[in-house]
Amino acid sequence: MSSPYATALIVAAGRGTRLGAEKPKQFLSLGGQPVLSHALSAFLRHPAIRRVAIVIHPDDTPTVEALIAAFDPPPGVAVSICHGGSTRQQSVCAGLMHLADRALPAGALVLIHDAARPLVNRDLIDRAIAAAAAHGAAIPVLPVTDTIVELQPQATPRTLDRARLRAVQTPQAFDFNLILAAHKNAAQTGADDFTDDASIAAHAGHVVATFEGDAACFKITTAEDFALARQMMNPALLDIRTATGYDVHTFGPGDHVTLGGIKIPHTRGVVGHSDADVLLHALTDALLGCIGDGDIGVHFPPSDMRWKGAPSEIFLAEAVRRVKARGGEIRHLDGSVLAEAPRIGKYRDAICSNISRIAGIDQSRVGLKATTSEKLGFIGREEGLAALATATIALPL
Ligand code: MG
């Protein structure tokens, strides 16, 4: 059987800042990437998913566009965004209309997923697609292990029969046309208090099937949930890689050198095609080495006039993007500057801070040392300066 045309609709329009953070939870960092990126990555990596649409709040458009640009979607997989409404139901409806405008083939399926469930995985997506293909409407459920009670006014809470209860998760999976019509029906009849899409399908008269959920795919609501998600995902990043980089540039006319993106006054300048920042060049090569993805010259050929005088930050940022596009996390960046002069001690904090900003890691994960060459060799003769760098990253196994 050929696999059905499956799409994913990720709902990320919420403004919830219950975690006490300054931004909505789908943009908080989890394992070095925004929460939203994890679900996006899981759907993009799944071989049956042909299109992903993300429903967002208009204010988040630049953030989400940048986040999407950080991924290399597999060939033939489209990613798009659309703006949601003031409730989850309105947002999902807007997302379905957006997909409807894209002329999906007959029999297309849609998996509707909350961005706040970052640990969705391939097996769960497999089960969702199979259940939607078989039943037209299906939801992932988990047995309830706690005893559940129903509060009674001025009376003892009533214990429910947990053998008959299930907790409902996402992705909820549907025949696309079925759920689109059900949402339109709900909107037309003014029914606007549904908390999930299965209820909307049921309201339209459809039978909703269930399939096995995954406890790991829990919804992040509280700070404790967030801490648990961190713990659960870190063991998945077990492929630890380390690589080195080395770069040299010649001193020439000028009044400063640029190291780690920071201008340091000097009696001479540095000759190079870009801004000749040996430290950022060495770090870029170290990161590219970690993922076996060529070197700085492969991605930014010196023959390309675009990089003439360019700030080297763009080279390091691209290497960071490539690591993240592989689902990786940068654990540590370390550099050594080899020069008789200038002295960089005064600038160390600014340089480390700038590198941590470009790499999107805490400054405690950036090291920087400097040494002279005891007047020996080309560095000792002050013909140029060099940098060594080491990067350590973690990739998913
Ligand atoms: Mg260089």
- If DSSP codes are grouped into helix, strand and coil, which group holds residue 117? coil
68 Cα to the center of ligand 1, angstroms = 29
Q: Report the separation in Å between the CA atom of 286 and the middle of ligand 1, taken as the mean of its atom positions.
A: 13
**CA 254 to ligand 1 center in whole angstroms:** 17
Please tell me the distance between residue 221's alpha carbon and the centre of ligand 1 in angstroms. 46
Under 8 Å between Cβ of 104 and 7: yes
Query: Residue-wise pLDDT tens for the chain (397 aa)?
Result: 467 899 999 999 988 756 666 788 899 888 778 999 999 999 998 999 999 999 999 999 999 999 898 887 788 899 999 999 989 999 999 999 999 999 899 999 999 999 999 999 999 999 999 999 999 999 999 999 999 999 999 999 999 999 999 999 999 999 999 999 999 999 998 888 898 999 999 999 999 999 999 999 999 988 889 888 888 876 566 789 999 999 999 999 999 999 999 999 999 999 988 899 999 999 999 999 999 999 999 999 888 888 888 899 999 999 999 998 888 889 999 999 999 999 999 999 999 999 999 999 999 999 999 999 999 999 999 999 999 999 999 987 7
Ligand 1 centroid, distance to 248 Cα (angstroms) = 6
Ligand 1 center to residue 261 CA distance, Å? 13
Find where tokens 């999976």 sit: 173
| Ligand 1 midpoint to CA 390 (Å) | 16
Q: In angstroms, what is the span from residue 346 Cα to ligand 1's centroid?
A: 23
Q: Is 332 exposed, middle or buried (CB count within 10 Å of its CB: 0-12, 13-18, 19+)?
A: middle
Give 72 Cα–ligand 1 centroid separation in angstroms: 26
- 158 vs 15: CA distance, rounded Å: 34
**In 255-383, beta strands by DSSP E:** 256-259, 262-265, 269-271, 329-338, 366-371
Distance CA 217, CA 352 (A): 36
DSSP secondary structure string, 211-223? EE--GGG----SH
Count of H-run helices and E-run strands, the chain: 12, 19
Q: How far is the CA of 287 from the centre of ligand 1 (A)?
A: 14
